[in-house]
Amino acid sequence: MKQALIFLENVALRPMLRRAAYARKQGYACYLIYSPLKEFEQAALAEMEADLGMHLFERIETTTCFELPHLRNLVRSIASEADVKGLTGMLGLFTVDGLLGAHTATLAAELGVPTQNPDALYRANNKYLMRDALRHAGVPTVDFGMAYDEQTAVEHARRIGFPVILKPVTGAASHLILKCEDEQQVIERFRMALEKLPTSANASIYEGAHVYADRAGVEHQFDPLKGMLVEGYLSGREASVEMVITEQEAVPLLVHDKIVMTEGERVFYEHLLVVPPMRFTDEEVQQMKDYATSAVRALGLQNCLSHVELRYDDRLGPQILEINPRVGGMCVADSLEALVGFDVLKAQVEQATGTFELQDAYPVKDEKYGMFTLYPPHSGVFEAVEGLEELNQLPGMVFSRLVYPIGTKIDGDDEEVFLLMCWVRGDSYESIIETYEQAERLVTFSVRKEEKASQEV
């Protein structure tokens, strides 16, 4: 029987295609379980297959049902015709049928192939459970509470102290991150959030109502469409730590410095990241690495890459914003390859098949890189972009990548939409910043407003 990998996902096909292409080149037969492919996803698959010169998947099983028993039947059908060496996902977010990443981990364990920790995935994808796990383990974290009505939200805010942040408990892409300075803003923004959640581009994530126990064993009923997490606002310099985690060890690889950030009314945007960090001392970088290591261990993450986002408060030190059980977005994979020599696709396939081995050390090269993203002006239908040719001629530009094809509906008002991502190398941090500032002046997007716009992932 052919050695095979099964890819199980519901919203993030294009990055999954790159991983499958790598696995195909390594000789694995690839199978895909996914939601019905949209037109632009079919085009992306055709383009990848044209580049490879072969079919990417032996079989594609499309489904709108992601209940565990149904997925189990699909996986067993594939396993009857192939020697499955790994079962892997991409984002594994909440669905109306449960947490897809946890389902994937459960099915991998049933197949006897390497797996992640389903409990840790629940805690990483539910921000209340994440902070509860940190607090239970003694890892410093801001105060927090779950609110299902305006009065409870105000009570949490009073206890925590203003300013506070309201955010969806299972959210992604900085969607509906609402800073509140007083009780009236808590009431108004809580009400606004509950109106927007059911019709948002991320609505499928919020449909995953679930019951889960905190670290003390107390069960909580979570309905992401009807409540918001309230937590203390964190000030300070923002950074992220990229980690590789085996079943025994958690190793920080690289720290990115988010040097240009803006806080919109409903979204926090990250514009420009540089690596190695420019605003942190060596001691502060080590503090962030140690803190991130403690945080992922508190959750129990294993056999994955992890993207840990934090702010460095001058009084409190590093503080968690969120923990993602996957590699960071934008150009993080390129950053890891260029600075550390860490091949993300290779690591992901090897983790799924149990062939990954940690190096003794991951030294960071003495070079300076930056990644930046340009955002759409508002929600609507992406119709055109100008200035790309001039952009790619700027000093230090390695590449630019348009994330969404022309014609895509995007939700630029309520979440981070990485419309154009750029990767640049510089002789100095100043040269990288200058390239970013020139790019902002050069590139313009045409987005036609619609009454209701939603992003296709």
Is the pLDDT confidence value at 153 over 60?
yes
Q: Are 188 and 153 in contact (CB under 8 A)?
A: no
Distance in angstroms (rounded) separating the CA atoms of residues 402 and 392: 12
Q: Are 384 and 406 in contact (CB under 8 A)?
A: yes
Q: What is the DSSP letter of 198?
A: G
Residues 72-76, mean pLDDT to the nearest whole number: 98
Maximum Cα interatomic distance, the chain, rounded to a whole number of Å: 64
Q: Which domains are present in the chain?
A: 3-115 (3.40.50.720), 143-232 (3.30.1490.20), 367-457 (3.90.1170.60)
Percent of the chain past pLDDT 70, that is, above it, reads 96
Distances from the Cα of 278 to the Cα of 233, 275, 339, angstroms: 24, 7, 15
pLDDT at 415: 65
Q: Are 336 and 244 in contact (CB under 8 A)?
A: no
- Cβ burial 286-309 (10 Å sphere, 16+ → b, else e): eebbebbbbbbbbbbbbbbbbbbb
pLDDT at 457: 37
pLDDT in tens, 208-253: 999 999 999 999 999 999 999 999 999 999 999 999 999 999 999 9
pLDDT at 203: 78
Is the pLDDT confidence value at 40 over 90?
no
Q: Are 436 and 391 in contact (CB under 8 A)?
A: no
Residue 233's nearest CA partner among 185, 182, 184, 162 is 162
Distance in angstroms (rounded) separating the CA atoms of residues 37 and 30: 17
Give me the residues paired with residue 244 across strands.
251, 305
Is the pLDDT confidence value at 451 over 70?
no
Percent of the chain past pLDDT 90, that is, above it, reads 83
Distance in angstroms (rounded) separating the CA atoms of residues 221 and 143: 20
Residue 105's nearest CA partner among 124, 120, 127, 95 is 120
Q: What is the mean pLDDT of the chain?
A: 93
Torsion angle in degrees (nearest 10) through CA of 83, 88, 92, 95: -10
**What does 301-362 look like in DSSP terms, one character per residue?**
--SEEEEEEEEEETTTEEEEEEEESS--STTHHHHHHHHH---HHHHHHHHHHT-----S--
Distance in angstroms (rounded) separating the CA atoms of residues 126 and 146: 11
Question: CB neighbours of 40 closer than 8 A, spacing ≥ 6?
Answer: 405, 407, 408, 456
Give me the residues paired with residue 231 across strands.
144, 165
Residues 345-374, mean pLDDT to the nearest whole number: 96
Distance of CA 404 to the CA centre of its chain: 17
Tell me the two tokens of residue 237.
């310099």
The answer to pTM > 0.75 is yes
Distance in angstroms (rounded) separating the CA atoms of residues 24 and 4: 9
Q: Are 241 and 258 in contact (CB under 8 A)?
A: no
The confidence band for 454, taking pLDDT boundaries of 50, 70 and 90, is very low
Residue corresponding to tokens 């500032």: 437
Residues 276-280, mean pLDDT to the nearest whole number: 96
Give me the residues paired with residue 396 across strands.
none
pLDDT at 202: 73
Q: Are 196 and 414 in contact (CB under 8 A)?
A: yes
Tell me the two tokens of residue 162.
């203003």
Distance in angstroms (rounded) separating the CA atoms of residues 381 and 385: 12
Residues 28-33, mean pLDDT to the nearest whole number: 98
pLDDT at 266: 66
Q: At what angle do helices 13-25 and 39-52 cross, to 10 degrees?
A: 20
Q: What is the DSSP letter of 248?
A: S
- Number of C-beta neighbours around residue 408 at 10 A: 21
Residue 439's nearest CA partner among 383, 385, 378, 384 is 385
pLDDT in tens, 78-124: 999 999 999 999 999 999 999 999 999 999 999 999 999 999 999 99
The confidence band for 456, taking pLDDT boundaries of 50, 70 and 90, is very low
- Exposed/middle/buried for residue 357 (C-beta within 10 Å: 0-12, 13-18, 19+): exposed
Distances from the Cα of 8 to the Cα of 19, 68, 81, angstroms: 12, 12, 17
Q: Are 177 and 167 in contact (CB under 8 A)?
A: yes
Residues 362-372, mean pLDDT to the nearest whole number: 96
Residues 131-141, mean pLDDT to the nearest whole number: 97
Which three-class secondary structure state does DSSP give residue 421?
strand
The confidence band for 414, taking pLDDT boundaries of 50, 70 and 90, is low
Residue 378's nearest CA partner among 418, 411, 416 is 411
- What radius of gyration, in Å, describes the C-alpha atoms of the chain? 21
pLDDT at 453: 42
Pure H helices in 394-450: 429-442
pLDDT at 173: 66
